[in-house]
Amino acid sequence: MTQSKRQLKFSKLIQKEISEIFQKEHSGKFIGSLVTISDVSMSPDLGLARIYLSIFPVSNIAKIMEAIEDEKSRIRGSLGKRIGKEVRIVPHIAFHADTTAEEAEKMDKIINKLNIPPATQGDSQ
């Protein structure tokens, strides 16, 4: 499902602000890990922001996600202070681990293991 211009604009704002909140207020919880906000998608009523996090190394995903869930209300409070004058309602936030990079790596390994014979001269199709 595609998002409206309003949803896209709002998701960009949320992504920017949450990134700054993580950098300035919560970076101590991510020591030894790299946490990046890879995407934000908004519900049609702008009441829920789904925030997708890319976390490296992969072995720290569970620990980092747990720490973020524990701080979710404080993160939303900080978000409210930052965007409260620009929006009517501060959206509820839901964090999800973005596993796109790991899935791509798995696919690359599978493809590299395939034994595909080279095309012969007669195989033009």
Residue 118 lies in a domain: no
Residue 122 lies in a domain: no
Q: Which H helix or E strand runs over 113?
A: helix 100-113
What local confidence, expressed as pLDDT, does residue 115 receive?
81
Q: How many residues does the chain have?
A: 125
Residue 71 lies in a domain: yes
What local confidence, expressed as pLDDT, does residue 114 receive?
84
Instruction: Give residue 15's domain range.
Output: 5-112
Residue 65 lies in a domain: yes
Q: What is the DSSP string of 25-63?
A: HSGGGGTT-EEEEEEEEE-TTS-EEEEEEEEESGGGHHH
Residue 68 lies in a domain: yes
What local confidence, expressed as pLDDT, does residue 70 receive?
92
The residue with tokens 């211009």 is 5
Q: Residues of the chain with pLDDT > 70: what percent?
A: 96
* Residue 1 clears pLDDT 60, i.e. is over it: no
Task: CATH number of the domain at 87, please.
Answer: 3.30.300.20
pLDDT in tens, 9-31: 999 999 999 999 999 987 777 78
Residue 86 lies in a domain: yes
The count of domains in the chain is 1
